[in-house]
Amino acid sequence: MLANRALYAHRRLTNMAFIVLSIGAAIFGLIWLAFILGALLKEGISALSPTLFTEVTPPPGSQGGLSNAIVGSVMMSVLAVLAGTPIGLFAGTYLAEYGKHTRFAFVVRFVNDILLSAPSIVTGIFIYEVLVAPMHHFSGWAGVAALTVIVIPVVVRTTENMLLLVPHSLREAATALGAPMSFVIRSVTWKAAQAGIITGVLLAVARISGETAPLLFTALGNNLMSLKLNAPMASLPVVIFQYALSPYQDWHTLAWAGALLVTATVLTLSIIARLLENKQRN
Amino acid sequence: MADIALIDENALTARAQTTRRASRGDARFHFLTWLAAALVLLIFAGVISALVVGAIPAFEAFGFGFLTTEVWSPARERFGALASIYGTLVTSFLAMLVAVPVGIGIAIFLTELCPRMLRRPIGIAIELLAGIPSIIYGIWGLFVFAPWFQEHIQLPVISATTGIPVIGTLFGGSAYGIGVVTASLILSIMILPFISAVTRDVFETVPAMLKEATYGLGCTTWEVMWRVVLPFSRSGVVGGAMLALGRALGETMAVTFVIGNAHKIDSSLFAPGTTISATIANEFTEATTELYTSSLISLGLVLFFITFVVLACAQLMLRSLEQRAGK
């Protein structure tokens, strides 16, 4: 009887400790999020000003903004998404509609998921070897290529997942009406999975808006406003990296402002993507 | 009569033509999607061959001793990868040490303990951590976390452990703020959401009946989790953890900011060090000679190899789980 009670007390105590630790873990995770966002808002908002969008990155000790970096980031991201989306969409469609359980599809799926999580700095080296070294100069195009390589696996993964959610009866109904397979895919399956496919594209944009490592030695950077993709091009993440590691206070301030812009963009995109995904799943 | 037959025949050929055109379009579309899928493989092959070709000069000059030498001296053109490899493995290991238990704890909280109303918002908030770009962790780590860590953790720990054998050495030296432990902690925050997201999804595949039966026997929450849910979902949890490990190994910007870029293996964990990715990020554009560049690319090859093995294992574990779930 006594032993039983002791055992019960022991079990309750263990359970209590376990529950406290789990709750502690959740609070631990949330606290970091709060700390990081708090610091970003505190340092970033005070650094925000209209000149951020109108002036180029300054030499140390003088006033300036981030306009060239913003323009560079937007240009390279848009082009990378334009290039990567069709490839990712088609490859994802192949996996979900044609390849399915074939050996080839298995290998593509496997390799795609490796590329999805592979270190992005390696992507930078790859593009450096393929584009920058033969051309003998850094360029916006190389930056676009590096970002495209990152966009593709993200779009492939979400496209396949979302197409698999489309009910089979929908495809069967369209096929029974005599529609050829490619027509069924384009006009029925894609349409049914529209919100999900857009989710994938948004996630890809969110992912590349903050990517720094692959741009360091492809697009490099540029202290002037430049729209030439054949020349080195500035980008927000690279400017943040260079300015934060510099010894100058006004460069630190600009780095914080850039960090706030990047985070706001990324988080907004992620939240929209999540809402769209929920819409698709319901 | 003959007329009608003629019309019929025309209609037939027209229909045959339409069908043929449609099936040709079908084949073309099929081929295009196949081409895109093949392109994914081509990119992968391209990455590997670019790394291997770029690494050849360094391996010709140093042989496999490249992997086991600590010296990194651009001035004398002597390069060894050991300090970088050591830093990569140690920071990832320490990050996993923190992130795995905490990540699983969060997943348990979200699936078992959290009030239903808070479940979604907290889940989303934790996943937002995964969305924050690594450069943001870097700048925050450098300007906010490192100074705080230096003052409130490093200094007390160093003064408390001086003189104690082993532990005193591990936490010895000066409090720089930046260093191996700082980088590991920031890495652990970064990979936390990956672990908790995968673990939570895996926990949700555990049949409710199984859990209810265990609760029905009078088990506590801890006993249900430890003896039923965790054993049931083991391969998924391990897969999620390996996925996170793959991220930690390759993470560049967050680490580059706070590790200090010192090419040496220090006995103290508080000392500055470097990782493969941090070395590449810091030095690639400064590399002036072919041998220097090639050594950095070799580092990239080593990193790609390590992450490939880890990620491949992660995938195989998660795939087997998917198959069991009856997909």
The confidence score (pLDDT) of residue B7 equals: 57
Q: Any idea of the CA torsion for A13, A18, A21, A23, to the nearest 10 degrees?
A: -110
Would you call A112 and B40 a contact, using CB atoms and an 8 Å cutoff? yes
- Cβ neighbours of residue B164 closer than 8 Å, sequence gap 6 or more: none
B126: nearest CB among A29, A107, A262: A29
B122: nearest CB among A30, A89, A110: A30
> Around Cβ A74, how many Cβ atoms within 10 Å?
14
Give the gap in angstroms from C-alpha B59 to the nearest C-alpha of chain A: 17
Tokens 């099936």, residue located: B23
| Triad B308, B309, B310: Cα angle to 5° | 95
B133: nearest CB among A21, A108, A210: A210
* Spatial separation of the C-alpha atoms in residues B205 and B201, rounded to whole Å: 7
Q: Which phi and psi angles does B241 have, rounded to 5°?
A: -65, -40
Contact residues, chain B, for A89 at CB < 8 Å? 36
A90: nearest CB among B22, B32, B284: B32
In whole angstroms, how large is the CA radius of gyration of chain B? 27
| Residue B24 pLDDT grade (very low, low, confident, very high; cuts 50, 70, 90) | confident
CA distances from A225 to A233, A237, A256 (A): 9, 16, 20
B250 interface with A at CB cutoff 8 Å: yes
Give the H or E element holding residue A17: helix A2-47
Is the pLDDT score of B233 beyond 80?
A: yes
Token pair, residue A163, equals 């197409």
Give the gap in angstroms from C-alpha B236 to the nearest C-alpha of chain A: 16
* Spatial separation of the C-alpha atoms in residues A159 and A193, rounded to whole Å: 8
* Spatial separation of the C-alpha atoms in residues A42 and A256, rounded to whole Å: 9
* Spatial separation of the C-alpha atoms in residues B35 and A112, rounded to whole Å: 14
Predicted TM-score (pTM) of the model is 0.92
Would you call B26 and A255 a contact, using CB atoms and an 8 Å cutoff? no
Provide the 8-state DSSP code for A55: S
How does pLDDT run across A75-114, given as a tens digit for each residue? 999 999 999 999 999 999 999 999 989 999 999 999 999 9
Is the pLDDT score of B5 beyond 80?
A: no
How does pLDDT run across B255-313, given as a tens digit for each residue? 999 998 889 898 888 999 999 999 999 999 888 899 999 999 999 999 999 999 999 99
Would you call A111 and B41 a contact, using CB atoms and an 8 Å cutoff? yes
Burial class, B205, CB count within 10 angstroms (exposed 0-12 / middle 13-18 / buried 19+): middle
* Spatial separation of the C-alpha atoms in residues B3 and A263, rounded to whole Å: 74
Give the H or E element holding residue B73: strand B72-73
Would you call B22 and A23 a contact, using CB atoms and an 8 Å cutoff? no
Put simply, the chain A residues between 67 and 126 with a CB less than 8 A from any chain B CB are 86-91, 93-95, 97-99, 104-105, 107-108, 110-115, 117-126
The confidence score (pLDDT) of residue B162 equals: 81
Give the gap in angstroms from C-alpha B26 to the nearest C-alpha of chain A: 5
Contact residues, chain A, for B277 at CB < 8 Å? 119, 121, 213
* Spatial separation of the C-alpha atoms in residues A140 and A22, rounded to whole Å: 47
**What sign for the dihedral angle of Cα A31, A33, A39, A45?**
negative
| Residue A171 pLDDT grade (very low, low, confident, very high; cuts 50, 70, 90) | very high
Q: Which phi and psi angles does B79 have, rounded to 5°?
A: -130, 135
Contact B122, A33 (CB under 8 A): no
The confidence score (pLDDT) of residue A142 equals: 95
